[in-house]
């Protein structure tokens, strides 16, 4: 799908002392975060993430940013800075690095550990550069400065990007928890110092911009987890993101307190937690962790930590809910969904909750208990940031349109003018120069779908066909005609799937098809393609009028 702004031209050649910013994903959606910065013909990329499929993308495994704008400019990329280790910020790297594997990857210790392991699975080796908060780094024409930010994963960083066009502060995902589990708070002093020096463009996380007040502190969850686990006589299953180290730490602490062993379930969960422990980001008491295959040896005194908090079809929790996993859920067990609902995943998540409940489990989730808090700043925190940074311009990022609009409104409330807030969608170019940020054009930017081993081969039309097949069914019509006379010599044979089980249903329309074909031939219409369209229109009209349905119709006209 191309950009919905056909009136905007392709961006012109970049003027001197101008920084161009183009998001290839992450705007108008929660996921697929990727932004390209261009200065003096060189490119810096911030993040390269995936979007997970939802109800409208049946059969799709992942959705990637559109790299087509970069295809002819791969040699101009100076580096990729990764704000943190969540999949919606790093998950698309293997697909971009297929084009050029020697791009320098810049990030914190935990972020690069997650990335390196991900690339190893794909047999990709790329150079990495470890950075940390308060550090400065020159990458081509870009001067970078990094700031600690608090998020739902350790070791997250914001970045200031300085060029001759001015200074941009990109927050990445962040919140302002004053008492974080790891003691690492968002560097507001650094933000303020940068603001005092002058921030020309503030690119701000929008995910919770429409939620008033301040995001609840992570530490508030521990007592609730403790109470839920203490009251459970049987097994406890906790579903979380495989990168949510803070939440896993809380579950481990509470499990130890309640004399329960812990087992990781799911390959990504096992891998990530082992790495987090090795790097010192996860503190695990001796002999607390057991292997998944040994859980039966400990009866009900176990806590299982697994993937699947978003209802992902192949995740451990979804398979448990479907009854096709070695772990079985029964009456008296408790399942804790320790994450927020990503927009678009609601149906999948509630399907899993319903299935688990049907097995007799008690399901605890954010709607009925404080078992998760967001990793994103709410309106009160964002307003505080605007007050200390005092940016000349604001560009909301990371969020659906409603989130970005709410974020822009907060910036205006803090004193900025409407013209100083730039709300754009993926593909739109923003040029920063002389203290002004203006839209200069748009590049082709759609969705790239990963379906099994294929990347980019599935189109919007393919997905439309899949949805029609799933919702409306399929009808095929085969007719054989005489090549000389045009008379029907066999058929019409009509077959349907997902539409009706009654083989006699189509008897009444067969005569309509024969009449329409005879009339078409007499009118001078010939050729199998044209006659196929006659068949399609005839049966399509009948199905629409008689059954109020729009199935996929595949007509086949053969000549003999």
Reduced to 3 states (helix: H, G, I; strand: E, B; else coil), residue 542 is helix
The residue among 450 and 98 whose pLDDT is bigger is: 98
Lowest mean pLDDT among 101-115, 315-329, 429-443, 536-550: 536-550
Token pair 């730039």: residue: 422
Q: Which residue, 369, 301, 308, is CA-closest to 333?
A: 301
Pick from 286-295, 338-347, 511-520 the range whose average pLDDT is largest.
286-295
CA terminus-to-terminus distance, the chain = 41
HEC per residue, 482-534: CCCCCCEEEEEEEEEECCCCCCCCCHHHHHHHHHHHHHHHHCCCCCHHHHHHH
Q: How many CB atoms lie within 10 A of CB 230?
A: 10
Across the range 50-70, mean pLDDT stands at 77
The residue among 480 and 440 whose pLDDT is bigger is: 440
φ/ψ of 394, rounded to 5, equals: -130, 135
Res. 361 pLDDT band, cuts 50 70 90: confident
pLDDT at 1: 38
Taking only the tens place, the pLDDT of each residue in 271-317 is 999 999 999 999 999 999 999 888 888 888 999 998 876 656 667 78
% of the chain surpassing 70 pLDDT: 86
pLDDT at residue 475 greater than cutoff 60: yes
Residues 161 and 148: beta-carbon distance below 8 Å: no
pLDDT at 533: 79
Tell me the average pLDDT of the chain: 86
**For the chain, what is the radius of gyration of the CA atoms?**
28
Please report the DSSP string for 154-183 in residue order: TT-EEEEEEETTEEEEE--S-B--SS-TTS
Res. 437 pLDDT band, cuts 50 70 90: very high
Taking only the tens place, the pLDDT of each residue in 194-242 is 999 999 999 999 999 999 999 999 899 889 999 989 988 898 988 888 8
Across the range 459-483, mean pLDDT stands at 66
Lowest mean pLDDT among 35-44, 84-93, 136-145, 535-544: 535-544
Residues 71 and 99: beta-carbon distance below 8 Å: yes
pLDDT at 466: 57
Lowest mean pLDDT among 81-90, 361-370, 383-392, 503-512: 503-512
pLDDT at residue 468 greater than cutoff 60: no
pLDDT at 492: 76
Cis bond before residue 455 (omega within 30° of 0): no
pLDDT at residue 144 greater than cutoff 80: yes
Sign of CA dihedral 477, 483, 484, 490: negative
pLDDT at 14: 93
Taking only the tens place, the pLDDT of each residue in 384-421 is 999 999 999 999 999 999 999 999 999 999 999 999 99
Residues 69 and 22: beta-carbon distance below 8 Å: yes
Q: Which residue, 370, 373, 560, 419, is CA-closest to 481?
A: 560
Q: Which domains does the chain have, with CATH numbers?
A: 19-213+374-452 (3.60.15.10), 218-364 (3.40.50.10710), 460-559 (3.10.20.580)
Res. 142 pLDDT band, cuts 50 70 90: very high
φ/ψ of 158, rounded to 5, equals: -95, 165
The contacts of residue 499 (CB under 8 Å, 6+ apart) are 472, 473, 474, 475, 549, 551
pLDDT at residue 60 greater than cutoff 80: no
HEC per residue, 412-433: HHCCCCHHHECCCCCCEEEEEE
Query: How far is 530 from 542, CA to CA, in rounded Å?
Result: 19
Reduced to 3 states (helix: H, G, I; strand: E, B; else coil), residue 211 is coil
CA 530 to centroid of chain Cα atoms? 43
pLDDT at 3: 46
């Amino acid at each position: 799908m191309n950009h919905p702004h056909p009136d905007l031209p392709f961006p012109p050649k970049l003027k001197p002392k101008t920084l161009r910013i183009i998001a290839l994903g992450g705007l108008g959606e929660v996921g697929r975060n990727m932004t390209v910065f261009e200065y003096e013909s060189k490119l810096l990329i911030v993040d390269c993430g995936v979007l997970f499929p939802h109800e409208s993308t049946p059969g799709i495994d992942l959705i990637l940013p559109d790299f087509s704008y970069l295809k002819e400019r791969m040699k101009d990329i100076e580096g990729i800075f990764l704000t943190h280790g969540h999949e919606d910020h790093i998950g698309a790297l293997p697909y971009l690095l297929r084009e050029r594997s020697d791009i320098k990857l810049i990030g914190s210790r935990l972020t690069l550990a997650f990335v390196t392991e991900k690339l190893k699975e794909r047999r990709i080796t790329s150079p990495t550069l470890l950075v940390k908060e308060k550090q400065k780094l020159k990458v081509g024409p870009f001067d970078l400065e990094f700031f600690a930010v608090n998020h739902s994963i350790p070791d997250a960083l914001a970045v200031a990007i300085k060029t001759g066009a001015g200074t941009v502060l990109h927050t990445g995902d962040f919140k302002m928890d004053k008492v974080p589990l790891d003691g690492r708070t968002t560097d507001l002093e650094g933000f303020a110092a940068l603001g005092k020096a002058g921030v020309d463009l503030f690119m701000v996380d929008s995910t919770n911009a429409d939620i008033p007040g301040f995001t609840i502190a992570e530490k508030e969850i521990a007592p609730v987890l403790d109470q839920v686990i203490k009251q459970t006589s049987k097994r406890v299953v906790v579903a979380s993101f495989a990168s949510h180290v803070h939440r896993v730490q809380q579950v481990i602490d509470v499990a130890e307190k309640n004399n329960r062993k812990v087992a990781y379930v799911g390959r990504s969960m096992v891998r990530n937690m082992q790495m987090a422990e090795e790097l010192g980001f996860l503190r695990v008491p001796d002999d607390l962790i057991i292997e998944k295959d040994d859980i039966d040896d400990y009866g009900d005194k176990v806590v299982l930590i697994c993937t699947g908090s978003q209802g992902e079809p192949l995740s451990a929790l979804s398979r448990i809910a479907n009854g096709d996993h070695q772990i079985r859920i029964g009456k008296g067990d408790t399942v804790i969904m320790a994450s927020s609902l990503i927009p678009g995943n609601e149906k999948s998540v509630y399907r899993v909750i319903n299935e688990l409940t049907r097995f007799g489990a008690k399901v605890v989730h954010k709607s009925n208990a404080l078992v998760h808090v967001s990793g994103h700043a709410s309106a009160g925190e964002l307003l505080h940031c605007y007050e200390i940074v005092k940016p000349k311009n604001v560009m909301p990022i990371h969020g659906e349109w409603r989130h970005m609009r709410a974020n822009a409104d907060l910036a205006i409330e803090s004193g900025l003018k409407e013209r100083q807030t730039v709300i754009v969608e993926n593909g739109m170019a923003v040029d920063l120069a002389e203290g002004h940020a203006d839209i200069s054009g748009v590049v082709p930017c759609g969705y790239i779908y990963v379906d099994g081993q294929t990347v980019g081969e599935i189109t919007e039309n393919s997905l439309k066909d899949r949805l029609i097949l799933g919702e409306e069914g399929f009808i095929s019509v085969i007719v054989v005609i005489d090549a000389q006379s045009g008379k029907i010599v066999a058929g019409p044979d009509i077959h349907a799937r997902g539409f009706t089980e009654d083989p006699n249903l189509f008897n009444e329309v067969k005569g309509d098809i024969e009449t329409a074909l005879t009339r078409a031939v007499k009118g001078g219409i010939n050729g199998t393609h044209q006659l196929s369209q006659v068949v399609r229109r005839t049966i399509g009209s009948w199905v629409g009028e008689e059954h109020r349905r729009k199935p996929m119709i595949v007509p086949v006209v053969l000549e003999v």
